[in-house]
Every structure is written in structure tokens, then in C-alpha cells.
Structure 1
Amino acid sequence: MKKTMKIIGYILLALLLLAGVMLYKVYDYPVHSVEFNKAKFSAVDTDEKIDQLTRSLIEKMSLDEKIQQLYGRPISDALTLVGSSAIFGRTPPVYGGGNERLNIPPFAFSDGPRGVRANKLRTAGDKLGVTSFPVSMARGASWDVELESQIYDVIGKEMRASGINYTGTPTINLLRHPAWGRAQETYSEDPWLMGEFGLAAVNALQHHNVMSCAKHFALNSIENSRFVVDVEVDERTLREVYLPHFKKVVQQGKVASLMSSYNKVLGEYAGNNHYLLTDILRDEWGFEGFVSSDWFFGTYDGIASIQAGLNVEMPYQKVYQPDTIKQGIEDGQITEPDIDELVFDTLRTQLKFGLAEDPMLYPDSIIATSKSIELARIAAEKSMVLLKNSKVNNRPVLPFDKSSNKTIAVIGRLADMENLGDTGSSKTTEPYVVTPYEGISAYHKSLGNKVVLDKATDLNASKKLAKQADQVIVVVGYTHVEEGEFLLASEEANKAAKLGKRTGPKTDGGDRENLKLIPEDEALIQALASTNENLVVVYVGGSAIDLSSWDSQVPAILFSWYSGMEGGNALANILYGDVNPSGKLPFSIAKQESDYPYFTPYTEKITYGYYHGYTLFDKKDIEPAYPFGFGLSYSKYDYQDLTVLTPELTQDDTLKVQVTVTNTGDIEGEEVVQLYLGFDNSAIDRPVKLLRAFDKVHLNVGESKTVELAVKAKDMAWYNPEAKEWQIEKMTYQVYVGSSSAKQDLLVENYTIL
């Protein structure tokens, strides 16, 4: 017995030692430099020299070394990465490629749609927080492309200071339906708005020699079934609706990389879809970068992926196994030159960015500077959308009066929550977060007002407080629990998709199963709606909601989104008029959920149609609750004198129009001037109108500005699937210019393409 106990003791000790070693390995995740030793390479100042250098390096590699360039890391490193995040709350960069013998450093990957995902440690346990911006959908609501450039300039700098040179951002998947769980990570329901913002992001990142990986290519607009769903789409819809923004970042932005999506496209997984990855992306668009897979569940067949043109499997080696590849070569399914070409795309891109001159140095001190944090606040302010602002006693509810001796009630379960959105791949670690209550409380400190927090655990108490307060701010919406990246295991997702319904308890993230707020928030709004005339409902979330049960009952509604680390301060500045709201909806809000295209979180197959969002509402003559491009201001803007400067065009010309916009209110502000093209005279089925230009202009009180907008004739084309080409119709078009996509908000004139 003693001998047995002794053996058991040794076994337990050995297991403890093994666990300790593994825990230390998880904690001591290796950090690699991604900087090229430029002294080891001759000057490569032309594309031709980069090509030559890339070919010469590949020629020096063995087949095994080439295969090592085709994946992120071995499975053991991937498990270490997961453990480091789960146990220590860190997300180190994920490395890939590299060849020490040939002086090629690995690349270091981090996500980053609202800030750097990877956590850099100054010393053990000392987290260096990054600047955390409002989510992408909020920034899309700013309609401010220059602002997006500034934001990604900061993110690019902080990437480099964190040792990152490859990033999985921007996300430019289309918002087809507002229930999509990852809506917050993208910009809009509209391909044009999406493309302009995606281009700004790519250009700003790559200015700092961070390789941008735009994602997810393609048709990834459903979350819970993302590992299994097969998306059916016709050729026109694919080309005109779901690919234009990817094409823009490829051809205009020269994006370094794309990430393939999890889903199938027309029966073939995107990670081994030759039509997407080679026929369209490389042969038609001329893409010269590299494609990496979506993580863990994005690859299924090593040979098929090589044949399709997938360059890198991330984050670890799953299907790109040496035995598989060598057997494929032996069987004649693939050749070693096929491997060479895949390696060439990746290595050439690495060399192009790694050997380029940096515009600056990237020390730790540039992370989360006061200037960057100020930009986060400004971004939140410019993003917020004022949907409703009724008049009470002949004046609008907002901005609230900011005189002294007042009681302000801030009510709701989210009122004092650090709630920045998704905690999947877009999570950030920031120095601090200003909640709505904290921002409003700080604002009133100097005014001597009393700010009362009520987390709405007792509706009767909340009603009593609201009746007694001078101003009521009701904070409702979502968290990462209700919407976000779906982190359920693929096997469970498979099962749910096959059955067409959720198979277990609700897990964090994923698609929303309906568009209403959670029952507690719905009940809170209903309870407080009639208690106080000076009441605003502040919505926190990443997409459209169903407001139908309470919209008419409340005097004011503000979309504040997931507004970043400075969101609470920004909210106070908006509510009290220090900042004039200028955000506009980047999507349409329907009166009823059935007005949107068919959507279900759990399915093995779905069809994406030609119409969605405002194009669907226009075509079916459905009046939305709030139209695409809509947003109120504390000022009023008058549009006059729409003039077509080029009334007749050839197919190589550019449409130019101008319009005069005047601030007729009593506060300075910014207005988003929107241009749509109309196709009333088309011989084929086309949308009623499409966004094709916009500009955000600042106007002082009483100031008028003549705004000029331009659209190239090629951007009026439709894709003819029979001819397999883009064609421009010779006809008379309409040009609409105004403050939103609603007919009553637009001036209209005609022009002709001869």
C-alpha cells in the first residue's frame, strides 16, 4: 500500500511539474522581432529588384523551408497562444513565416478594428493599454473619411510600437441584415461608403508599413453559422453588391493581404475557392499580395487550398502538412512551382514593407498619448447620431440646459458599465474607459449639479427618480453577450445549422435572434417614457434595432454606439451642446423586422439577393422608420441651386455637380452632403438610386458653401453576367443631392451619357 501511495505521489509530482512547465511556457510566450536587418540585403528600391530578391531567396529554400512559409505556427504554439489569453488575459501577436538561415524575420499578426488587439507588456504584469476607438460602424456613421485616416494612422503607429507588422483589419463585409453579430466591426450596408472607409484604413496603416489584411473575402454576413453556411448568390449581385469594396482596396489601396472567410460560396469553402482567390482576385483585379485563411476553422483541404491560391494558413498548421503537400506533388495534383508562387506572394509583400523606409520611429511612448485619446473622444462625438429630438415648450429637448442646481438621472443597466463591444478578435486593452455615468457626472462637477446613477434594478424606484429629476438619460442597448463574434465551437455550430435553431444555452456573441432590445430595456423605456419631458434614450450597440414599441413615446433618441474609451465624455458633450451632433446612419432602420431581407442565424444555406437596405426599401417603396444617411443636428441646413456642371458625358468622363449648403441655425456644425445616382431610364433591373459621393463640410452660423461632388462614369456601370463585363448605359440619369437618402431630403437634376 505504501509503495502504491509513493508511486501515486511521484506521478502527481510529475504532473505538477509538467503543469508548471506548461504554465510557464504559456506565460513566457516568445516575442520575436519582425524587423529586417537591412544590412543583410542590397538596396531594393524598385518592384523589379524586390521580385528578383524574392525569387533568389526562394531558390535557396528547401521544400520543407518553403512549406514553413505557408502557415502561422505549429499547433503547440497556437495552444500556447490560447492559454496565454485564457489564463493571463493577454493576447500576444501571432507569428508566421520567417527563415532565420536566410535572415527573414517572421511577420507578427494582430487584429485591430478599434485598436491594437495584441497586448504588449513593458514588464511582467504591466499592461500597456492602447487607444480604444469607437467601433467601425460608429465611425462609418461619422461619414468622415479624413477622420478614419487619422484613426488608422494612430492604430498603425501603435501596431508598430507593439511589434506588429500585419493586421486583420479593416473588416469590410457588407451589413446585409442588422442582426448580424459582427455588424459593429464593419462600416455600412452600402458598398460605396464601405469602400471609401476601407480604402482610408488601408492607406493609413500601410503608410506605417503595417501590412493590412482586409477581411473576410467574401460574403461573410452571418455569424452563428459562419463555419458551415453555403451562400448562394448570382453573378450580378456578387459583382455589384458584395465585391466592389474589396475591389477598391485591392486596386486603389494596393492592400497587402486579404483574409478568406469561413463560409462556402456557391458550394465551395472560401479558403479553397479558386473562382474567388484566383480567377477574380488575381487574374481580374491584379492582386499582388497574399491571402491568409480565417482562423482555426478556415481550411479543410490542403491540396484544394494550394490549387485555389491560399498563401498562408492561420494561425497554425492544420492542412498545410508536409506529408500532404509532398504526396500531392508526387501524385501530380500540385507542383513545387505552385508552392513557389504561393511563397513568392507572401515573401515579396513582406520584403516590400519590411525593407521600405519608415516615416518615423515607433517607441512605446507613442501608445495611448493624450493626443490619440483626444482623437478617440472626437471620433465618438462625430459618430453619434441624433435620431429624434422633439420640441417641449417650443424648444427641442436636446441640447439639455446646463445651468446649475439641477438633478440629472442616469438610468439603465449599461449606464455605468465599461462596454466597448465585442470581446472576440476586436477586443482592446485600454488604460481606462469613461462610462456614460462617469462622463456626465464629470461634466456636471463644475456646474454643481447632482448626478444620480440608477442601474434600474427596481422599476418603481426608477420611475420615482425620473419624475423628480430635471433631466433623464436612459441608457439601453447591448453588450458582447448579446452581439459580437460567435465563439462557440464549430461542432456545436454545425449541429445548430443542421437543425435550423439554437441547440443549447445562449453563448456570448453571435447574431441577434430578433431586433428588439432585451426585455429589461424595453420595460425600462416603457416605464419611464411618460415620466419626464426632458428625457433622452441613449442606445449603445453596433447596428439597427426595432424601435417600434417605444419610438413614438419618448421625446429624444441618440445612437451613441460602442463609443470607445472616451465615450462617456463624448456623450456628455453631445447632450449638453458643447458638440453639435453630425453623425448620419450608415444603414436604414425599418419600421418592422419583416421589411429586411430574410435572415436566420442557424442555417446551412442562404441566398443573398441583389437588394437589401435602402435599395430594397426604395425598390419596394417601403418607408423606413429612419432612412439611410439620416441624422439630426442642433442646427438646420438648407440645400439650394443644385447644378450639373457636366450635363452630357462620354463613358470616359466624370460627372461634376455643385450645390449650395447654408447653415440656417444658431450653432455651428457639420453636415454630410450626399450624392446618389438614379436609373429611372435603365433597360435592365437596377436600384432606384445608389450612393456615389459624399462630403462632410463645416458651416458656421449663417455660412453658405458651394460643395462640388464628382463621380466617374465607370462608377455608373452595371455588371453584365452574359458578356462577363462592366457596361455603362447610354441614357439620361438622375443625380440626387441632399441630407439623406429619403426622397424629401434630396434635390434632383438630370444628366446624359452619350
Structure 2
Amino acid sequence: MKMAAGRWGSPAQEPVSMGTVPTERSAYGQAVRAVRVGELDADEAAEQLINLMTDGEILGLLDGDSPGLLLPLIPILLGRRPFVAGAVSRLGIPGIRFSDGGRGVVIGASTAFPVTMARAATWDPLLEERVGVAIGLETRARGANYSASACVNLLRHPAWGRAQECYGEDPVLTGRMGSALTRGVRVHVMACVKHFALNSMENERFEVDVSVDDHPLHEVYLPHFKAVVDAGADSVMSSYNRVRGEYMDVNRALLTDVLRHEWGFPGFVTSDWVFGTHDAVVSLEAGMDVEMPLRLLRARDLPAALRSGDLARATVLRSAHRVLRTCVLHAATREAASPTPALVASPAHRALARQVAAESIVLLKNETVGAAPLLPLASATRHVAVIGRLAALANLGDHGSSRVRPPATVSPLQGLREALPRVRITTTSGRNERAAAALAAAAETAIVVVGLDQHDEGESVVTGGVDVGVLGPAFGAGPLRRLLIGLAHVASRFVRGGDRTSLDLRPADVRLIHAVVAANPRTVVVLIGGSAILMEAWRERVPGILVAWYGGMEGGRALASVLTGSAEPGGRLPFVLPTDAAHLPPFDRAAKSVVYDDRWGQRRLDDEGHAPAFPFGFGLGYTTIEHRLLDHGFDDTGGNADVLVTNTGGREGSTVIQVYAADVSVSRPVAQLLGFRKVTLQPGEETTVQVPLDAGPTLQRDPATRRWSPRAGDWALLAAQHSPARWADAARLRRPVGPIDEEGDTDGRRT
């Protein structure tokens, strides 16, 4: 590959102005057209563009285009424009134009969807793909072409501050939902999956070193990343943390040996922002292609390293080629029509946000009070008390990099007032417990809205452990470095967000619940938050419990529709709710090193024999539905299960058919989710549903050969409505023996 004449280290060209669409007259536009009509493939087009570029322009592909002086302004600018990397106006190359987007586009006033954890609770990949299409459409309308929407880090512990940004504790659920979002986003923009890998704590995310054996690494913490890569992810964002002693930007074992060689990922890797790059040269050699979002280490160190021979020219060209190939290919294959800003937060997208919020709500308890279950609210209801500090707030989630600022929001109180215009609704914040109890006593039903907000959990705006050497040589060592790191550690103790200190509600919320339910036995507790909230201090006394998450801009209307019965609570837990935090893995928010094994969440409770408060996958509806496994065609390449589903209740309702496997030869079988499918049935309807199954949880990987083979044991299959506690009725599996080759066939015979 020939490079155009030029001087290494010359300034990159000014970025293309926001929203510019390269014309076919530009070199980039001609390359995109040639790929679209089949005259060139994307690799050939990328090579032709590189041959037209100066040395400085090629180096400019490998980091952000904005100057390092903008570092303090990132939180402000992130909400106003895309961050650009690798733009070359002379050739019409727009570069990668970044927007975050886990719950909606962070630029401007955009649709705020429920947080990722809430969408995981829908257990509906088709619905999640529709969310992805909407986010991609709004991302492109805001002038960006690259969205970091899919966060598929596993929920190792619910105290993780950014738990709300992930899909829960299970690899199969996470992989399928993250893949669906990615497919949707890619209709309009390039999709980035993050944070690779083993990122699941916030306060020490810059320093923590994760130790992990090959079995949990490849069979628990990476399969969902591979699923999203296989779904077409254009880019991967590396995480801040270390894995096995190496920061992820320089972790060749994962970025190259696994991601590229073993999985065949053809796209480009970006760093997590600013402090995610630790060595300009080594990170490039390890497989981290683009330093985001500013001109910092790469701009300072790469030109001299290339001149001195410390950096091979082929290494530079390899990453430049990956970036250009991916951009050209996506531009040639994406939806042709450019969306207008009028589509942002449109009525259709708001309606979708409301549907997702309603289908995410999990009904945990609905006891009979009097002659009927407490929910939905009786049509004869005339007086409802809505109580709690979160009742009148539009509580959308944390205020970190994924924050969305919609043009309007609907609180739970507003949603109920709209849904019940003829019902008297009284309200109080609950700060005065005696007044709240009196208000509850005077009403027919009391609804208590409590939980978490951005002060309790979320991305930590200031985090200790920042490697400030990225700011320049003066910060690489000495008193200035020590001073700045010390200030960061001190500041991190006072800012909002970060890892949770407790899995319980605030003490004032618990006291409020006790006061209200004592005054009115018809009490419903609505929990707002991003992951597990323990409720043992009050669970037995409250007849109705809902988990409403951070429900997005239409969350209040969705909640009201579920409470009144115009919509069904369609959600199922994407994690287990234990009775005791001690039943989960240890979590030290100040840890500098951690060990990750294959026991967490529901699996840990199963293994140790602890009954949960509510198991993984649990959720009630307003009707009753039965499941029965009829047959399966499962083997070690996957397969399907046929499940008979019957609505035995009196109204339309949905269920999530969940198929689990376990080694039943052990005294305490550990359930492994293999597949799921959401289905809606009319009253009395009976149907057979085919559920696709993932063989991965029943396989093991040989670290030496990188080949997969059946895991030892006596494996059984069970269809259930949540993670099962009993396996007596399970069907035995017929298993192939021997390693699985690259085509998915086995070298052994069937048993």
C-alpha cells in the first residue's frame, strides 16, 4: 500500500462541518458510490483513499480531531454536537462522528427511551430492534454517523453505578438484546458496542485490575460481546479497566488474539474517552485503532515514534484501513434517505418510548385485598393518594455520558392524573410521614413512588484513579501528577452518581412505606431505579409491588396505563432479587483488584442453595398462563424447543417463555438460560411456540485449541416462566460427544 507524499506529524485537515454529506464529486463520495454499485469492495476503496492522503491526514485518522484544550468542555459539547475523529475535508471524508445513545441521542432535545435495563426487562428483541432504528434515525438527524448505544457489560453486581446501562445478569439475554439494538441502529449509523471487556464497577474503573480464569472469561463474560459482533457491530469501544494486569487499550490478548483472530471482527476499535489510552504506540500495536475524542497521546507521540522506527508504518496503515473500510462500507449500505430533525422526538418515537416503558414494568406482587387482586385499579375507584419524593419527578436516570434531555417528560403523578381525570388524586412528597399516613388513610388506594435517582447511582462524573499523564509530559510524574490525582480522589467522594453504597432503599423511603401501609392496607409500592433494590424490610407487608425503572420521557403515562389496566405489566426481571446482599458476590467499590468467577446473581444463589425473594426472569401479569415443553431439537450447535402455551385467565396477556438447562447430576443444579420468546395470547387461547436455543451455556472452550466441546454432566431441559428451582420434570438432552469444528459439526458420535 503506497502512501502519498507528506510529512509525518503535519496537522490533520479541518473536520467537515456538522451535518455535511459528502457529494459524489469528492474522493470519498466516489469511493462510496463505487462500493454501492459493486465496482469496488470496501477494502479496495479504503486503499484508494489512503493512497490519496498525506501522512498527516493518515495519522489524523487515529485520534479525535478536537484539541486537548476542550477536555473541560466535553460534558457540555457532548450534548450539542457530534465529536469527530478522522475527518479530511479535502477528500470529503466525514470521519467518525460520535454520539452516545444508550437510552436515546444525547445531542439536543431527543427522545428519551427507558434505560437499557428497563428494555432488558421487556425480554423482546424485536421491540429492542425498533428502539435501535429510532435511535439510529435520531443520531443521523443530529449530524452523527456513529452511535455508542449498545452496552453489553454483564451485571456482575447490582451495586455497579452504571447497571442501568446494561441488559442484566445473563449472557444469553444480554447477547440477544444487544444484537437487536445493534441491528436497528445500523440501519442509519455505525454501531459501537462497549465496554470491552469486564467493566462492571464505576468508582475505580480507571484502576481496577480484573483477574479471571479462561472458563469464566470465554464462557461467561465474552459470549454476549461476540453475539453483538456477529450481529454486525461496526466498532468496539475498549474499557478503562485492566484485565489480567493490562489496561484494555494495550491488551493484545483480547483486542487482537480474541476479537480479531478468534472472532474475525473486521471493524475498528476506539478507546473509552480521554483516559482510556495509556500508550500511543503500544495501544496501536495491540489493536486499539482510534484514541477518542481529542488530540492527546497519539497526536503528541506517533509522529516521532514513526520517524524513529519505534512504530512500524504497516501498523499505522492497518488501523487507518480498518477505519476507512468500515466508514465506506456503512455509508454505501445504510438507509439512503437522510432524516430531518423533525423526526427527533416525533409522535411515533414518543409512542414507541411509551410502549417500551409499559412492557418493561415488572409486577412482583399483586395480592387479593377484599374480593379482587389489588391491581389493576378498580373502575369504581374514586380517590387515590400518590405519595413519595419521586412521584412528581421525571426521573430519567443518571446524569453521566448517556444522559438524554427530551423536549418534555411525564412524571408518575402527571400520568395518573391524565389517566384518571374523574378520580380525586391527592399527593404529598412523604417527607412528613404522619401527614402521608393521614393522606393514605383517606384514600381508597395509596400508591407510593420511591427508589433511586442520579444521586444514588450512575456514571461518576469525577472518578479517582485517573491517569493524568495523558494531559502532557508535566503530568507524567512528579508533584503536579500527585496533586491532580489526589484532587480527583477527594472530589470523587462528593459528586453524584457512582457505585451504590447499599442495595436497600433510603431509610426515609422505608419508613414512609411502613407508615402508609399501616394506614391503608390497599398500598402499591412503585420502585424506580436501575437495578436490584432489596425489599426484605417491608416486602411481606405490602400487597402490591411494581418495578418501573427509569422509564424515559413517557414513563409516567406507561406506569398509569399499567396501574389502571389499559396495559399489562409485560416485564420480567433481568436479574435475581435476593433476600440478602450477602447472597451475591462481594462488592468493594474502592477495590483496586477483583476476581471474577462463574458464580454471580441467580447462579450463585442456585449453587449455594439460597432461595431468592424473586428469581431471575420473574414477573406477574393480569392473567394466568401455563407452559409445557413438548419437544426439542437441541444439540451442541443450538436448536429449538416447542412449548405449548395456554392462557387460562380471563383477559389478553403476555408471557415470556424461558427455556433453561442444567447439569442435574449435581446436588444443586445451576440454571442456564438457553432461549426465550415473548408471546401474547387471547383469553383461552392455546398455541405451540418455537423457542430458539443457544447451546453456548452448555459448552466449554479448550484454551489450548480454542475449540468448543460439550460440558460434562447429565444435562436436562426445562421450559418455565422464570429461573426454575426444581428439575424433576425436566427433559434429558441427547448430546454429541467431542469438540465442535469451525463449521459447527462434531468430531464424535451422538449418545
Task: Report if TM-score (shorter chain) is over 0.5.
Answer: yes
Q: Which residue of 2 aligns with 1:141?
A: 121
Output aligned runs, 1:84-103, within 5 Å: 84-85=76-77, 90-103=79-92
1:409 and 1:83 map into 2 onto residues whose CA distance is: 39
Is the contact between residue 177 and residue 597 of structure 1 (CA under 8 Å) also seen in structure 2? yes
> Is 1:531 aligned to 2:519, yes or no?
yes
Aligned positions of 1:181-196 closer than 5 A: 181-196=161-176
User: Runs of 5+ in structure 2 lacking a partner?
Assistant: 1-14, 469-481, 736-749
Counterpart of 1:734 in 2: which secondary structure? Answer: strand
Distance 1:205 1:300 in 2: 30
Aligned residues: 702
Asked if residue 266 in structure 1 is aligned to residue 244 in structure 2, the reply is yes
312, 315, 319: which is aligned to 1:342? 319
Of 560-569 and 37-46, the range deviating more from structure 2: 37-46
State the Cα distance separating 1:680 from its structure 2 match: 2.9
Deviation at 1:222, TM superposition (A): 0.2
With over 3 angstroms needed to count, the CA separation of the structure-2 counterparts of 1:449 and 1:594, relative to structure 1, is same
- Normalised by the length of structure 1, the TM-score is 0.89
Match of 1:293 among 245, 266, 271: 271
What amino acid is the match of 1:699?
L
- Work out whether 1:364 is the aligned partner of 2:341: yes
> 2:220 maps to which residue?
241
Matches within 5 A, 1:75-224: 75-76=67-68, 78-79=70-71, 81-82=73-74, 84-85=76-77, 90-119=79-108, 129-208=109-188, 210-224=189-203
The structure 1 residue matched to 2:458, chosen from 479, 484, 492, is: 484
- How far did residue 626 of structure 1 move? 0.6
Contact 2:64 2:295 in 1 (8 A): yes
Q: Counterparts of 1:83 and 1:532 in 2: how far apart (Å)?
A: 45
Q: Does 1:407 find its partner at 2:383?
A: yes
Q: Alpha-carbon deviations, 1:581-634, whole Å to 9, x = none? A: 121000001110000001111111111111111111111121111100000111
2:664 to 677, 680, 688: 680
Question: Quick check: 2:104–2:135 contact (8 Å CA) kept in 1?
Answer: yes
Q: Determine helix, strand or coil for the equivalent of 2:514.
A: helix
**Correspondence list, 1:368-407, <5 A:** 368-403=345-380, 406-407=382-383
1:32 aligns with 18
Aligned to 1:50: 42
Mapped partners of 1:600, 1:730: distance in 2: 34
Give the equivalent residue in structure 2 for 1:256.
234
For 1:244 and 1:522, locate their aligned partners in 2 and report how far apart those are by CA, in whole Å.
Answer: 39
Q: Is the 8 A contact 1:644 1:751 kept in 2?
A: no
SS of aligned partner of 2:53: coil
Query: Which whole-Å deviations, capped at 9, do the CAs of 1:431-460 have from their partners, x for residues lacking one?
Result: 211000000111111xx2111120112111
Deviation, 1:283, is 0.8
The 5 A counterparts of 1:683-694 are: 688-694=670-676
Q: Give the Cα–Cα distance (whole angstroms) in 2 for the partners of residues 679 and 577 of structure 1.
A: 40
Q: CA deviation at 1:76?
A: 4.8
Give SS of 1:170's match. Answer: strand
Alpha-carbon shift at residue 326 of structure 1 (Å):
3.0
**Is 1:441 matched up with 2:417?**
yes
Question: 8 Å contact 2:658–2:719 — kept in the other structure?
Answer: yes
The one-letter amino acid paired with 1:226 is: R
Secondary structure of the equivalent of 2:41? helix
Instruction: Return closer, same or farther for 1:267/1:558 CA change in 2, 3 Å cut-off.
Output: same
- Check the 8 A contact 1:643/1:749 in 2, yes or no: no
Deviation at 1:743, TM superposition (A): 2.2
1:464 aligns with 2:450: no
CA contact (8 A) 1:382 1:581 kept: yes
Q: Structure 1 residue 533: deviation in Å?
A: 1.8
5 Å-filtered alignment, 1:471-510, equals 471-491=445-465, 505-510=493-498
Q: Is 2:579 the counterpart of 1:591?
A: yes
CA-CA distance at 1:47 after TM superposition? 9.6
Partner SS, residue 425 of structure 1 = coil
Change (3 A) 1:366 1:503: closer
Residue equivalent to 1:321: 299
- What SS does the aligned partner of 1:291 have? strand
User: Is the Cα–Cα contact under 8 Å of residues 189 and 613 in structure 1 kept in the other structure?
Assistant: yes
CA distance in structure 1 between the aligned counterparts of 2:485 and 2:369, rounded to whole angstroms: 50
State the Cα distance separating 1:659 from its structure 2 match.
1.9
* Gap change, CA 1:397 and 1:713, over 3 Å in 2: closer
1:721 maps to which of 695, 700, 703 = 703
Report how far residue 657 of structure 1 moved: 2.4
Q: CA deviation at 1:693?
A: 0.7
* Counterpart AA for 2:435: A
For 1:234 and 1:390, the matched residues in 2 are separated by: 45
Displacement of 1:505 in angstroms is 4.3
Q: Following superposition of structure 1 onto structure 2, how do residues 655-670 of structure 1 map, counting pairs within 5 Å?
A: 655-670=639-654
CA deviations on 1:226-277 (whole Å, 9 max, x unpaired) are 01111111111110111001111112x1210010001011111011111111
For the residues of structure 2 that align with 1:697 and 1:91, how far apart are their CA atoms? Answer: 40
- Cα deviation for residue 418 of structure 1 reads 1.6
Q: What is the CA–CA distance in structure 2 between the aligned matches of 1:422 and 1:250, rounded to whole Å?
A: 27
Distance in 2 of aligned mates of 1:224 and 1:692: 33
Secondary structure, counterpart of 1:372 in structure 2: helix
Alignment of 1:610-621 (within 5 A): 610-621=598-609
TM-superposition CA deviations, 1:344-392 (whole Å, max 9, x none): 1111111111233524330122111212111111101100000111111
Cα displacement string for residues 734-754 of structure 1 (whole angstroms, at most 9, x for unaligned residues):
111010003259952112112
CA shift in 2, pair 1:216/1:90, >3 Å: closer
1:734 touches 1:748 (CA, 8 Å); kept in 2? yes
Work out the CA distance in 2 between the residues paired with 1:522 and 1:726: 49
Cα offsets for 1:70-103 (capped at 9, x unmatched): 1112335634843745xxx943211111112222
Q: Equivalent residue for 1:8?
A: none
Shift of 1:203: 0.6
1 CA distance for matches of 2:303 and 2:155? Answer: 41
Residue 61 of structure 1: how far off its partner (Å): 2.3
Call closer, same or farther: CA 1:550–1:731 in 2, change over 3 Å.
closer
Give yes or no for contact 1:181–1:512 (8 Å, CA) kept in 2.
yes
The letter of the residue matching 1:95 is V
Give the direction of change, closer, same or farther, for the CA distance of 1:297–1:359 in structure 2 (3 Å limit). Answer: same
Question: Amino acid of the residue matched to residue 298 of structure 1?
Answer: G
Tell me if 1:455 matches 2:429.
yes
Judged with a 3 Å threshold, the aligned counterparts in structure 2 of structure 1 residues 492 and 260 are, in CA distance, closer, same or farther, namely closer
| Identical amino acids, percent of aligned pairs | 38
Q: Select the residue among 602, 625, 631 that pairs with 1:644.
A: 631
Counterparts of 2:534 and 2:101 in 1: how far apart (Å)?
29
> Match of 1:750?
732
Letter in 2 for 1:725: R
Moved more, 708-717 or 183-192: 708-717
Kindly tell me: are residues 686 and 590 of structure 1, through their superposed partners in 2, closer, same or farther at Cα, counting changes over 3 Å?
A: closer
Corresponding position: 1:554 with 2:533: no
Residue 35 of structure 1 contacts residue 354 of structure 1 at CA under 8 Å; is this kept in 2? no
User: Retained in 1: the 8 A contact 2:249–2:276?
Assistant: yes
**Offset of 1:646 from its aligned partner?**
3.5
